[in-house]
Amino acid sequence: MDKKETKELQVQTHGEFGGLGITVGMKDGALTVIAPLEGTPADKAGIKAGDIILKIDNQATIGMTIDKAVSLMRGKPSTPILLTIVRKGETKPLKIKIIRDIIEIQSVYSKTIGDDILYLRITSFDQKVVDGMKKAIKKHPNKKGIIIDLRNNPGGLLNQAIGVVDMFVKEGAIVSQKGKIPEENLIYNATSEDTDTKTPLVVLVNGGSASASEIVSGALQDHKRAVIVGKRTFGKGSVQVVMPINQDEALRLTIARYYLPSGRTIQAVGVTPDVEVDYGEIKKAEEGISIKEKDLRKHLASELEKIDGISVTKDDDKKNKKIITEEQIYKDAQLKSAVDILRALMITNNL
């Protein structure tokens, strides 16, 4: 990597950079969107995980390297860019105009559902994730279950993924890497003494969950520490290292593949959820809905929601998009399934 590319990598893993807020990878030879980062220009413009980018402005992406594509998508804030994409289910390519902006990543969002479920949304694995999760959990000592949402999380730092798993798995392997050079083969084990092995966990994933997200979800699944809900993940399990050449340049090499505790690979395969659920909206029926007001303590839509210790009434709903209401749960079939499953686990945990 040259000076510019090295700087971009450093900025991404430290939580702030300029551009579209989009993570891309090569899948079957095509430049593919792994995921748009939540709240970024790409997300607001409607870019979706799995979109194939045919053109960046007027330049075709066939034969283009990822670094070149990223370089073209980066630019000065407030400048426009036109992406031509192919999307599953659409008969013609779509042209989407996006305005570049400075991207500030908040990697961990914490919310509550009722009084007893802590919802943790991890948007990317930057260097702040483990600390952010520990702080959020500490703020909610009365939680009886946790949902970790890794949907559209493109990955990030390996040590942060290991750190997240280490919070919930007491012993054994978390992930291993194997390559052509035996000296590069490594096993990363659980080492933390402050481990929560009892709180029920549900992890949400989809096709935009990649790399570090797959390590977390796959390791928790193999250790039978969490129920994985959603759709099969992206399948990005290659090990890359960054070797500094000098102060301004570095070399990025793919040296091995990641393997989960059971020995299965992530590369091109991904993690298959325990419970597969399509994303979509659930229409309420007059009778027979599994989530009712009595199941959502304090009636989510009509009483106080607690988010990071702040009480918010329904009147504040429009001002605070972080709130999880009953209506929002019904609009997200995967989240609804996660809530249902977690409540069942919480009941079993109390027996």
CA-nearest of 269, 139, 156 to 216 is: 156
pLDDT band, very low/low/confident/very high, at 184 (cuts 50, 70, 90): confident
| Predicted pLDDT at 42 | 96
> Is the per-residue pLDDT at 311 higher than 60?
no
- What is the distance between the alpha carbons of residues 129 and 216, in angstroms, rounded to a whole number? 12
What is the CB neighbour count within 10 angstroms for residue 348?
A: 9
Residue-averaged pLDDT of the chain: 84
107, 124, 211, 337: the catalytic one is 211
- Structural Rg of the chain based on CA atoms: 21
Q: Looking at residue 82, what DSSP letter applies?
A: E
Residue 289 has pLDDT above 50, yes or no: no
First to last CA, the chain: 56
Q: Which of 222, 231, 306, 337 is catalytic?
A: 222
One-letter amino acid identity for 9?
L
pLDDT at 300: 37
Compute the distance between CA of residue 328 and CA of residue 335 in angstroms, rounded to an integer: 9
Contacts of 258 (CB under 8 A, 6+ apart): 175, 176, 177, 214, 215, 237, 238, 239, 265, 266, 267
Among 43-47, 78-82, 102-106, 115-119, the range scoring the smallest mean pLDDT is 102-106
- Does the structure show a pLDDT above 50 at 301? no
The residue type found at 253 is L
pLDDT confidence of residue 299: 37
128 or 288, higher pLDDT: 128
Residue 269's CB is within 10 A of a number of other CB atoms, namely 14
Q: Tell me the C-alpha distance between 56 and 84, whole Å.
A: 7
The secondary structure of 333-347, three-state, reads: HHHHHHHHHHHHHHH
Tell me the average pLDDT across 272-282: 92
Measured CA to CA, the distance from residue 19 to residue 101 in angstroms comes to 5
The answer on pLDDT for 105 being more than 90 is: no
Q: DSSP strand E in 237-334: where? A: 238-244, 250-259, 275-276, 305-307, 310-312
Assess whether pLDDT exceeds 90 at residue 215: yes
Judged against a pLDDT cut of 80, whether residue 182 lies above it is answered with yes
Res 8: pLDDT: 57
Q: How does residue 4 score in pLDDT terms, banded at 50, 70 and 90? A: low
Listed in sequence order, the DSSP H helices in the chain are 3-14, 41-45, 66-73, 129-139, 158-166, 212-222, 326-330, 333-349
Q: Which of 236, 332, 336, 337 is catalytic?
A: 236
Q: Which pair of structure tokens corresponds to residue 105?
A: 């990543």
Q: Name the most confidently modeled range: 119-128, 301-310, 322-331.
A: 119-128
Catalytic site includes residue 236: yes
pLDDT at 345 (0 to 100)? 97
pLDDT given at position 350: 78
What one-letter code names the amino acid at 81? I
In contact, 255 and 238? CB cutoff 8 Å:
no
From CA 9, how far away is CA 70, in angstroms rounded?
11
Is 222 a catalytic site residue?
yes
- The whole-angstrom separation of Cα 34 and Cα 151 is 10
Strand partners of residue 125:
156
**DSSP 8-class letter at 46:** T
For position 13, what pLDDT does the model report? 54
Give how far Cα 27 sits from Cα of 33, 70, 91, 246, Å.
9, 16, 20, 32
pLDDT value at 85 more than 60: yes
**Is the pLDDT higher at 64 or at 314?**
64
Stronger pLDDT, 302 or 29, i.e. the higher one: 29
Query: pLDDT digits over 217-275, tens only?
Result: 999 999 999 999 999 999 999 876 777 888 777 777 778 899 999 999 999 999 999 99
Task: Tell whether the model's pLDDT for residue 319 goes beyond 90.
Answer: no
Name the range with the highest mean pLDDT among 139-143, 240-244, 335-339: 335-339
Query: 107 an active-site residue?
Result: no
Contacts made by residues 111-114, CB under 8 angstroms, sequence distance 24+: 111/305, 111/307, 111/308, 111/322, 111/323, 111/324, 112/140, 112/143, 112/305, 112/306, 112/307, 112/324, 113/147, 113/296, 113/300, 113/324, 113/329, 113/339, 114/296, 114/297, 114/298, 114/300
Domains of the chain: 3-104 (2.30.42.10), 106-351 (3.90.226.10)
